[in-house]
Amino acid sequence: MTDLGRVLVLAGGLSAEREVSLQSGARLRDALVRAGVDVHLRDVDAGLLGGLAAEPPAVVWPVLHGVSGEDGTLQEVLEMFGVPYVGGVPAGCRAAFDKPTAKALLASAGVRTPASVCLPRDAFADLGAGALVERIVARLGLPLVVKPRAGGSAMGVSVVRDAADLPAALMAATGYHDWILVEQAITGDEITVGVVDLDGAPVALPAVGIAPHGGAYDYAARYTAGGATFTTPADLAPAVSDVAGQVALTAHRLLGLRDLSRTDMIVDGDGVVWYLETNVAPGQTATSTWLRTRRPDRRDRARLRRPRHRHVHAE
Ligand SMILES: Nc1ncnc2c1ncn2[C@@H]1O[C@H](COP(=O)(O)OP(=O)(O)O)[C@@H](O)[C@H]1O
Ligand SMILES: [Mg+2]
């Protein structure tokens, strides 16, 4: 056993991503057990606060995705209990979880993020859906990506190529949030970059390139073994790779995050890096991109000098 004390991994919760979180939690627990840590895995339910008060763990590691786990709720509660925890503080989680807020912050720092419109569901009912839909298409063009204002695992996300499909996409997104974010779709290669605080300084991990086999990086592509091909480090020109690392570090710092985060981006045909969003509790499932990211070691440096290594993961 290490002398870290008891680590409490929190997984599950009640968000739409419960199943993903349970898988993440089990894998994290197994990894900590292998590292000799005294670890307990627990769901979030009405007994949690009593347990924290009666038997405070040395540290809590939340791997809860979506609402209450990533939006700062749990972190606020842990602050009140004075229990140390891994990951972002409440204000940082709130800023990152709310996609329009995160996009606005990054844009103010000169980072490119797709042009967008964010409106509540009620606006479409109150002001007339037809006129708003028409104006959105006139303003942003096509194709568009429609998504819930906050959420994860691509739930409620649709690509709209034909204006006639926009109302249905808006409806699908309102199943996950009362507010809808409509973005210009960026055509290009999807990448994600993890950031870890090491000795107090954030370090960007190598970019992971994501090539979904079905065309879209949707729920099935994310959590089905073999649903996507991941390439680490991503096949990027060195200058683009540097920008991607800088964008992930800027997001980590500007949003006020701590310990770890993972920023999703798209690189277009001109090598421009577009910011999509930052995750404060990156998935740790067998197919999660976080597990493809690590600090570059000697093997990576050798690989960078050789033709790219690709793998379809199938754990
Ligand atoms: N503006 C966009 N242009 C092109 N693809 C996008 C855009 N926004 C999202 N996507 C696609 O949808 C997926 C989910 O979007 P994202 O904003 O990362 O939400 P989530 O929190 O669900 O991961 C992305 O991984 C990407 O494949
Ligand atoms: Mg994402």
17 and 106 together in one domain: no
What is the 311 CA–ligand 1 centroid distance (Å)? 22
Q: Which residue, 134, 113, 114, is CA-closest to 124? A: 134
| Catalytic residue of the set 176, 217, 223, 275 | 223
**pLDDT of 299:** 52
22 and 53 together in one domain: yes
Q: Who has greater pLDDT, 69 or 238?
A: 238
Q: Check whether 310 has a pLDDT greater than 80.
A: no
Q: Check whether 314 has a pLDDT greater than 70.
A: no
Token pair for 183: 């973005």
Beta carbon of 185 within 6 Å of any ligand 1 atom? yes
**pLDDT of 294:** 55
Q: Is 34 a catalytic residue?
A: no
Domain extent, residue 81, equals: 7-86
Q: Is 259 a catalytic residue?
A: no
303 and 197 together in one domain: yes
The total of structural domains in the chain comes to 3
Question: What are the CA-CA distances from residue 279 to residues 158, 236, 292 (Å)?
Answer: 19, 22, 15
**pLDDT of 293:** 61
Asked if residue 306 belongs to a domain, the reply is yes
Q: Is 218 a catalytic residue?
A: no
pLDDT in tens, 56-92: 999 999 999 877 788 999 999 999 999 999 999 999 9
Asked if residue 304 belongs to a domain, the reply is yes
